[in-house]
Structure 1
Amino acid sequence: MQFLFDVSRHLRRLIRTTPTGIDRVDAAYIRLLPDLAGEVTFVAKMPGFNGLRRVDRLLPSAAYSAGQGLDVEKDRIYTELADYLAMPAWPSERGCRRLAETDRAEPSAARVAFTGMRQVFGTRDLPLSLRGSVYLNTSHSGLENTLKIQEMRRRGARIVAMLHDLIPVDFPEFCREGEAAKHHRRMLSLLQHADLIIANSAYSRDRFAAWLATVAPRGELRPAAPPIVVVPLAVENEFLTRDALRPPPSPIPYFVCLGTIEARKNHALLLLLWRRLAEKLGAACPRLVLVGRRGWKVDQVLDLLTHAAPLARHVVEVADLSDPAVASLIAGAHGLVQPSLVEGFGLPILEANALGVPVIASDIPAHREVAELAGHHGISLVDPIDLPQWMGAVTALASDRFELSTRVALPSWRDHVRQALDVVRDHFGPANSSAHATPKNNLASTRPV
């Protein structure tokens, strides 16, 4: 079985130092598929070309963005952060200090794609017949391009995609303008053309089922959904080898919040909480390290970070850290705090748990699943809008740092990719693999329940 793995998103994001959750998934598959899947061809949609093209000689070193594998001592941002955390007291400033590669220009997606194309030494057309191949997309990227997916099916490829979430459809208020309609087209593309969907969580699977119920009005024929199998995400090696990490020394306890600064991540609650803690505890207030790039619809949060002087002595914002730096930072924390209002999974919780670091996270469906994967050890789930409960949980952890004595063995990315490949092979086994991929019938003969 030949796999055609889509690296379009990966090529566009090569310049990013700190990968997002979806970036990590793409990177893991790029790194591991050649070893675990056997015959693999990397494909991508390139500006200036129609359809997908074969990407030749994708370098293993490109399987992460520029900062991956970097020694933390050579990570300038991490060094600056470690020096800042080592200070017994932070200076009074107008707003919270921000450490990031702010001097680096952000190229357009097209220019990054063309740069990536040169880095992988060119592309070429795919064969006309893709019979016996499986097109695999783990990023959502390009799924809204129905013509591209239809063309892959017409040429004989089976379509497998990973479902990360339906947040743009369910919660458009948290997303960029136009993202809800775009994600709706992605889901329609999966519904109409996918042979198999791999969901990162039961929550994502269930939200897809709920969305499916809205596609056809009650009383009409409902589109038939492809099979959906849940394969939970995994943990990077950096988070599985604590002894190799170099946590920063800090005379003041600190907490870490990891993730893009966007509305659904609920950073506003944390900043309000830390302002209350500063008023209550003064110099004994723990520190908060916000790790992530700035996103969208967070004007209030950015105003607080920029202009709230009472927070400046206790909160720091950091972006562009390498994975080893993020792992080292979390390893030295009193806890990870993740107050998201909605998630498709909750990877930072698993990563902190793998390091033996306690977690305070919002009590939402995806986080409950992740807590169950970790055996509920050291993970406290709190209502994401209950400020007093958050204050009590943070205050308790700040007063007494401890490392989890009991931990569940968490899956590595090799475990995850192997499981996903087993699911694909089982689905397209001898009973199914002989049949040629044909256009799907979009309507089932069953009525909605």
Structure 2
Amino acid sequence: MLKIAVDEGPLKSGDRVRGIGVYTRELLKALKIEGVDVSGSDLSKYDVIHFTRFNPFFISIPFKKPEHVKFVLTIYDLIPLIYPDHYPPGIKGMINWQINKFLIRKNIDAVITISETSKKDICRFIGINSNKIHVTYLAPRPIFKKDTSSMPEVAKHYGLPECFALYVGDVNYNKNIPNLVKSCKIAKIPLVIVGKQAFEVENLDLEHPELSHLKNIDWSGVLRLGFVPDEDLVKIYNLADVYVQPSLYEGFGLPVLEANAAGIPVVSSKTQALVEIAEDAVLFANPESPEDFAEKIKLLLNDSKLKNELIQKGSENAKKYSWEKTANETYKIYSKIA
């Protein structure tokens, strides 16, 4: 039996409520093992060390590697490198990026990523052989399903409109929030955003290059709920009339699958990973065109046959993904390199 250490670091930081935390928590649960504080442990007693957090502009990998121990690294995406003007690394960040590339080539035995889209980016930016990179998809958690219980109470608690479009996530540049807001205004449908960043936008430095795209947004008609616990979030998905994913670029796009699993029709950007994971289970729109998004939103609101068809396809699509499958594929990678 392999001795495996999966880094629990993301569960001890602000990442715990983000995608990195979901990945680490659900992977550990499906592998049926406890996480390890790799920064404070004797790594030599393990066969495989799995690092689950990577930022290109911060040193993410140990400089020293114990003999006979194999290193696995999960890289979710390299979006900061795709939009450098909006994610400026600074001099220190660029130096760290060069060090990270060196350490990946020298010490990492296998890279795991979450889509074929991200795999291509990793090959391009880091310059490692594609045979070293393995794709294991994320999955919606079991809690995300059709659930109409307690919906009136949740709607009242959060002050939700009777009809609304939903977006769940951060407000980084690649999320395309300005066009999301514009599209819902054009479609004349209230927008509900779940996520800590949008809730706190007035307290953020919008002069910073990573946030400057938010400066001139008209937030009227937008209900920003902040962080919402999963038990309520699944109800909010079920209350929504349409889920909208307007991203310019994604490494995966987990909320699309969560909406699929909850039985909510989706309008999504026709871009890279979102096409890869959603296939024909969503209505695609041009992320550069709020008018196109608005048209697709209105089409779903007015065409019950299309809406029901996408709900059915979405339900089937969500079933293709599970954390058990992800864990099994991950363990095969551990076994292969060990």
TM-score range, shorter chain: 0.7 to 0.9
- Report the counterpart of residue 232 of structure 1 in structure 2: 137
Q: Take 2:4 and 2:331, find their aligned partners in 1: how far apart are those partners? A: 10
Match of 2:84 among 169, 172, 184: 172
> Where in structure 1 are there 5+ consecutive unaligned residues?
45-51, 55-125, 214-222, 278-284, 434-449
Match of 2:117 in 1: 203
- Corresponding position: 1:138 with 2:52: yes
Matched, 1:254 2:151: no
Give the drift of 1:275.
3.5
Query: Unaligned 5+ residue runs, structure 2?
Result: 198-203
Relative to structure 1, the CA distance from residue 298 to residue 354 in structure 2 (aligned partners, 3 Å threshold; closer, same or farther) is same
Alignment of 1:75-224 (within 5 A): 126=42, 129-130=44-45, 133-140=47-54, 144-145=58-59, 149-151=62-64, 153-175=65-87, 177-178=89-90, 182-183=96-97, 185-213=99-127
Tell me how many residue pairs correspond in the alignment.
313
Rate the CA distance shift 1:176–1:248 in 2: closer, same or farther, 3 A: farther
Superposed counterparts of 1:32-431, under 5 Å:
32-33=30-31, 35=32, 42-44=36-38, 52-54=39-41, 126=42, 129-130=44-45, 133-140=47-54, 144-145=58-59, 149-151=62-64, 153-175=65-87, 177-178=89-90, 182-183=96-97, 185-213=99-127, 227-240=132-145, 242=147, 246=151, 248=155, 252-277=162-187, 285-294=188-197, 297-304=210-217, 308=218, 311-312=219-220, 314-372=221-279, 376-377=280-281, 379-399=282-302, 402-403=307-308, 404-406=311-313, 407-408=315-316, 409-425=319-335, 427-428=336-337
Judge conservation of contact 2:173–2:213 (CA < 8 Å) in 1: no
Q: Deviations over 1:70-104 (max 9, x none)?
A: xxxxxxxxxxxxxxxxxxxxxxxxxxxxxxxxxxx
Name whichever structure is richer in helix by fraction: 2
Describe the shift of the 1:184–1:346 C-alpha distance in structure 2 as closer, same or farther (beyond 3 A).
farther
CA displacement, residues 125-181 of structure 1 (integer Å, 9 cap, x when unaligned): x26x43x510001221699547x6342x23431001112111112222232544565
Q: Is the 8 A contact 1:134 1:158 kept in 2?
A: yes
Give the equivalent residue in structure 2 for 1:30: 28
AA aligned opposite 1:396: L
Q: Which amino acid aligns with 2:137?
A: P
Deviations 1:32-77 (A, max 9, x none): 33x2x5xx56124xxxxxxx213xxxxxxxxxxxxxxxxxxxxxxx
Structure of higher CA gyration radius: 1
Query: What is the distance in 2 between the residues matched to 1:288 and 1:365?
Result: 25
Query: Does the Cα contact within 8 Å between 2:237 and 2:259 map onto a contact in 1?
Result: yes
Aligned counterparts of 1:352 and 1:269: Cα–Cα separation in 2: 20
1:186 deviates by: 3.2
User: More deviation in 357-366 or 290-299?
Assistant: 290-299
Q: CA deviation at 1:257?
A: 1.1
Q: Larger deviation: 292-301 or 161-170?
A: 292-301
- Which stretch shows the higher mean deviation, 250-259 or 200-209? 250-259
- SS of residue in 2 equivalent to 1:135: strand
Per-residue CA deviation, residues 308-342 of structure 1 (Å, 9 max, x unaligned), is 4xx52x21112111122222111111111111111
Query: Residue 200 of structure 2 corresponds to which residue in structure 1?
Result: none
Q: Deviations over 1:363-389 (max 9, x none)?
A: 1111111113xxx22x01211112221
Q: Aligned to 1:344, what secondary structure does the other structure show? A: coil
| Cα separation, partners in 2 of 1:230 and 1:301, compared to 1, 3 Å | same
- Residues 269 and 287 in structure 2, CA contact (< 8 A), matched pair in contact too: yes
Question: Matched residue of 1:248: which SS?
Answer: helix
Structure 1 position 405, deviation (Å): 2.8
Deviations 1:412-439 (A, max 9, x none): 32332222112322x13xxxx4xxxxxx
CA RMSD of aligned residues (A): 2.8
Higher relative contact order by CA 8 Å / sep ≥ 6: 1 or 2? 1
2:8 and 2:35 in contact (8 A); partners too: no
